[in-house]
Amino acid sequence: MEQFTGTVWVLGDDIDTDIIIPTEYLALKSIQDMTPYAFSPLRPELAAQIKPGDMIVAGKNFGCGSSREQAPEIIKALGVRCVIAKSFARIFFRNSINNGLLLIENDALQAAVNEGDTITVTVNQDIEHNGQHYEITSLPQNLVDIISAGGLVKAMRKLNGLD
């Protein structure tokens, strides 16, 4: 079972796509150019603080709002290993899977962790924090396959023998 350990950043409820990437930066040339502005309406300093392998823990309805696919792409480009939230908005959920960004639903973790804490995620099994284990529901295998291939296009290329 895939397992990884990292530091968490903690956000609240209803983190919308205009928070994740405000409209005014969508015209920038590349996702890399947009990453410094991730979460800027809420926490302008956050994008520079996130290190590869970190995780985001949030409340309900993460990713609500626009269908802009730049939202999960930017989170992935920042090196965020996964987002753990009480719930995700559906378009964001689909876009994340299609871009190979792992999302985990969990009700209890957000209240238990402090920013900077270390957690260990065992995919499709549980999250460990300070010796406490939080069970997580498993994603259907076809979605896991898409995420581990790095997204829908890569998964289809693999399936069609192109890579």
Partner 1 sequence: MKPMTMAEKIIAAAAGVDCVQAGDIHTVEVDQLLSNDGTTHLTIDMYHNKLKHPHIADVSKLVWVVDHNVPCDSPKTAASHKKMRDFAKEHGITFYEGAGVCHQVMMENHVRPGELIFGADSHTCAYGALGAFGTGVGCTDYLYAMVTGKSWVLVPETLRFNLTGKLPEGVYARDLILTIIGQISANGANYMAMEFGGEGLATLTMADRIAVCNLCVEAGAKTALMEVDDVALDYLKEHGRTPKHVFKSDEGAQYAKVYDIDLGTIRPIVAKPHFVDNVVPAKECAGVKIDEAFIGSCNNGRIEDLRVAAAVLKGRKVHPLVRLLVVPASQTVYMQALKEGLMDIFMEAGAIVMNANCSVCWGSCQGVIGEGETLISTGTRNFKGRAGHPNSFVYLASAATVAASAVAGVITTADMLE
Nearer to partner 1, 3 or 159 (CB): 159
Q: Does 14 interact with partner 1 (rule: CB under 8 A)? A: yes
One character per residue 40-79, x = contact with partner 1 (rule: CB under 8 A): xxx-x---------------xx--xxxxxxx---------
In the DSSP assignment, the letter for residue 35 is G
Kindly report the three-state secondary structure assignment for every residue of 89-114.
CHHHHHHHHHCCCEEEECCCHHHHCC
- According to CB under 8 A, which one of 7, 10, 36, 91 is a site residue for partner 1? 91
The 8-class DSSP code of residue 131 comes to T
Segment 107-126, which members bind partner 1 (CB under 8 A)? none
158 lines the binding site for partner 1 (CB under 8 A): no
- Rounded to the nearest 5 percent, the helix, strand and coil shares of the chain are 35, 20, 45
